[in-house]
Structure 1
Amino acid sequence: MSVLPEVRDQSDSYALLHLIQGAVITQAISVAAKLGIADVLAAGPLSVEDIANRTGSDPRATHRILRALCGHGVFAVRPDGRFEHTPLSDKLREDAPDSMRGFALLMSHPMLWEEWGHLLSTAETGEPNLPKLRGMGALDFFHAEPEYASVFFRAFGDLSASETDPILAAYDFSGFGTVVDVIAGRGNLLAGILKQAPGVKGVLYDSQVATVDSPALFEAAGVADRFTIEHGGYLDKLPAGGDAYLFKHIIHDFSEADAVTALRNAREAIAPDGKLLVIEYVIPENNEKHIGHTIDLWLMLMLGAQERTLAEYTELFAKAGFKLTRAVPTGAPISIIEAIPV
Structure 2
Amino acid sequence: MTELSLPPHLHVIQLSWGYLYSAALHAVVEIGVADRLESGPRSAASLAEELGVEAQPLHRALRLLATAHVFSEDDDGRFHLTPSADVLRKNAPGSMRDAVLMLAHETFWAPAGKLATTIRTGKTPFTEIFGAPFFDILEKNPEFGRIFHRGMAGFSDTENAPIAASFDFGRFEKIVDVGGGHGGFLIEVLGKNPKARGVLFDAAHVLREARIAAAGLEGRCELATGDFFQSAPGGDCLILKRILHDWTDESAIAILRVCRRALAEGGRVLVIDAVIPRGNAPHPGKELDVLMMASLPGRERTEEEFREMFAAADLRLERVVPTPSALSIVEASAAPSR
Distance 2:133 2:194 in 1: 41
> Structure 1: where are the runs of 5+ without partners?
1-9
Residue 296 (str. 1) matches residue 292 (str. 2): no
RMSD: 2.4
Structure 1 partner of 2:318: 325
Point out the more displaced range, 106-115 or 302-311.
106-115
> Structure 2: where are the runs of 5+ without partners?
1-5
Taking structure 1 as the reference length, what is the TM-score of the superposition? 0.88
| Structure label with greater radius of gyration | 1
The correspondence for 2:224, drawn from 223, 230, 255, is 230
- 1:1-342 matches, cutoff 5 A: 11-106=7-102, 109-214=105-210, 217-240=211-234, 242-342=235-335
Distance 2:204 2:89 in 1: 32
Indicate how the Cα distance of structure 1 residues 32 and 339 shifts in structure 2: closer, same or farther if over 3 A, else same: same
Shift of 1:179: 0.6
What is the letter of the counterpart of residue 178 of structure 2?
V
Distance 1:340 1:110 in 2: 39
Distance 1:86 1:48 in 2: 16
What is the letter of the counterpart of residue 77 of structure 1?
E
For the 8 Å contact 2:108–2:295, the answer to whether it is kept is no
Shift of 1:108: 5.0
Shift of 1:299: 1.9
Indicate how the Cα distance of structure 1 residues 285 and 70 shifts in structure 2: closer, same or farther if over 3 A, else same: same
What is the letter of the counterpart of residue 272 of structure 1?
E
Distance 2:107 2:324 in 1: 32
Indicate how the Cα distance of structure 1 residues 212 and 106 shifts in structure 2: closer, same or farther if over 3 A, else same: closer
- 3-state SS of 1:224 partner: coil
Distance 2:107 2:298 in 1: 20
What is the letter of the counterpart of residue 95 of structure 1?
N
Indicate how the Cα distance of structure 1 residues 11 and 213 shifts in structure 2: closer, same or farther if over 3 A, else same: closer
For the 8 Å contact 1:195–1:221, the answer to whether it is kept is no
- 3-state SS of 2:270 partner: strand
What is the count of residue pairs matched by the alignment?
331
- 3-state SS of 2:26 partner: helix
Distance 1:49 1:213 in 2: 37
Indicate how the Cα distance of structure 1 residues 204 and 30 shifts in structure 2: closer, same or farther if over 3 A, else same: closer
Taking structure 2 as the reference length, what is the TM-score of the superposition? 0.89
What is the letter of the counterpart of residue 263 of structure 2?
I
Shift of 1:61: 3.2
Indicate how the Cα distance of structure 1 residues 228 and 305 shifts in structure 2: closer, same or farther if over 3 A, else same: same
- 3-state SS of 2:190 partner: helix
Distance 1:268 1:234 in 2: 12
Distance 1:55 1:213 in 2: 28
What is the letter of the counterpart of residue 304 of structure 2?
A
Indicate how the Cα distance of structure 1 residues 281 and 84 shifts in structure 2: closer, same or farther if over 3 A, else same: same
Distance 1:268 1:291 in 2: 32
Indicate how the Cα distance of structure 1 residues 33 and 309 shifts in structure 2: closer, same or farther if over 3 A, else same: same
What is the letter of the counterpart of residue 60 of structure 2?
R
Structure 1 partner of 2:3: none
What is the letter of the counterpart of residue 211 of structure 1?
L
Shift of 1:79: 4.6
Shift of 1:116: 2.5
Shift of 1:29: 1.3
Distance 2:61 2:254 in 1: 49
Distance 2:64 2:199 in 1: 48
Indicate how the Cα distance of structure 1 residues 55 and 264 shifts in structure 2: closer, same or farther if over 3 A, else same: same
Point out the more displaced range, 143-152 or 274-283.
143-152
Distance 2:200 2:91 in 1: 27
Indicate how the Cα distance of structure 1 residues 328 and 42 shifts in structure 2: closer, same or farther if over 3 A, else same: farther
- 3-state SS of 2:285 partner: helix
Distance 2:205 2:45 in 1: 46
